Amino acid sequence: MTSLFGSTQNAVIPSTQSSFWRSQNLCISLVLLLSLFCPPAPARAQQPTGQSIYALTQQFLAVAPKRFNGSPGHLAAENFIKEHFKPEAAKGNFDTDQFTANTPAGPQTMRNYIVRFPGKKDGVIVLASHYETNYPLKDIAFVGANDGACTTALLIALGQYFRTHPPEGYSIWLLFDDGEEAVRSWSESDSLYGTRHIAARWFSDGTARRIKALLVADMIGDRDLNILLETQSTPWLRAILRQAAANTHHSANVFKTEGSEEDDHLPFLQRGIPALDVIDVDYGPHTAATPDGYHHTAQDTIDKISPQSLQVSSDLFQESIRLINQR
């Protein structure tokens, strides 16, 4: 064979060139060996998307459509939450807060679940949602897609993110609280069982002093999302949410209306813990038959919420966490 540069049959490779190729071959061999003995790094979870939270909501509803206290669905809901946090349980960062509540229907066993993601700053931000459905509506087809299911899914999705992206600021705790709904008729004594219990416990054991902020997620999957300016919430946290909405270009979805709500933030406010109720109470058309829209009706189903609204809510919670860490 003859090349443009003459015959190659008796060509001699200079020693420097030979050393170069030996080095190259050695590097290639080392890379191949490393690839055999060092498996690739596991893929890191991306930030929660509205679509992934929506899919989690569907899964939760399929497993536990009716989740009133004492029902098989309530137990299934608890198992669904625990199944998603096995890694945290293995590390000792998953707690079950079991208690007996005296209700108009008699004593009922209830359980709050707390999932902890340690941060680098001394202090805690708590994200809370109730997971059960309304006890008085146990005999109708009430599944609470917006009222409890999608917010439970939101917290699970955020937890999956924090698992692979540990908090850089304050620790993040997820609180899945039980017994938010009334057992017979809403009153100070017949409602908010889970949060009243855990707020009292955290106050007595000193945990409350570590909590920098508590954010409640409630009914934030509404297709026509409008988060209420809840007037009892801590003022600086309301300002944080307004800024978070501006930063994420979601200002159109917050504070078009204002008012006060009796919700899971109240027991913490009463114990001196800064708290914010992130809630959309204007859910569905208000008619003579449904004066509260879809709220507490059999029409609170998966088709009434949207991935887009869940994306907005996820963005707002994550940006609020970032802003709280900057204070």
* CATH code at position 203: 3.40.630.10
Q: Which domain holds residue 312?
A: 50-326
Please tell me the distance from the alpha carbon of residue 192 to that of residue 177, in angstroms, as a whole number.
9
| Alpha helices, DSSP H, located in the chain | 15-37, 50-63, 72-84, 86-90, 150-164, 193-204, 235-247, 266-269, 307-326
36 within domain boundaries: no
pLDDT, residue 46, reads: 72
User: Is the CB of residue 60 less than 8 Å from the CB of residue 148?
Assistant: no
In this structure, the strands spanning 121-130 and 2-3 are: unpaired
pLDDT value at 15 more than 90: no
**How many residues are recorded in the chain?**
327
How far from chain centre, in Å, is Cα 320? Answer: 13
Taking residues 170-176, report their average pLDDT. 99
Residue 31 domain-assigned (yes or no): no
**Residue 45 falls within a domain, yes or no?**
no
CA–CA separation, 158 vs 160, rounded Å? 5
Alpha carbon distance 66, 76 (integer Å): 10
The structure tokens listed for 272 are: 């001196």
pLDDT at 289 (0 to 100): 87
**Is 38 inside any structural domain?**
no
Q: Is residue 193 part of a domain?
A: yes
Could you give the number of structural domains in the chain?
A: 1
- Which residue type, as a one-letter code, is found at position 272? G
Tell whether 225 is covered by a domain.
Answer: yes
Antiparallel, parallel or unpaired: β 106-117 and 170-177: antiparallel
Q: Which backbone phi and psi does 275 adopt, to 5 degrees?
A: -145, 150
Q: What is the pLDDT of residues 108-167, one digit of tens each?
A: 999 999 999 999 999 999 999 999 999 999 999 999 999 999 999 999 999 999 999 999
Q: What is the pLDDT of residue 47?
A: 87
Cα(79)–Cα(56) distance, rounded to whole angstroms?
14
Number of neighbours of residue 59 by Cβ within 10 angstroms = 15
Is residue 256 within 8 Å of 226, Cβ to Cβ?
A: yes
Q: Of residues 43 and 319, which shows the higher confidence score?
A: 319
Is 35 within a domain?
no
Query: In the prediction, which pLDDT does 227 show?
Result: 98
The pLDDT tens digits for 61-75 are: 999 999 999 999 999
What CA–CA distance (Å, rounded) separates 131 from 152? Answer: 6
User: Is residue 227 situated within a structural domain?
Assistant: yes
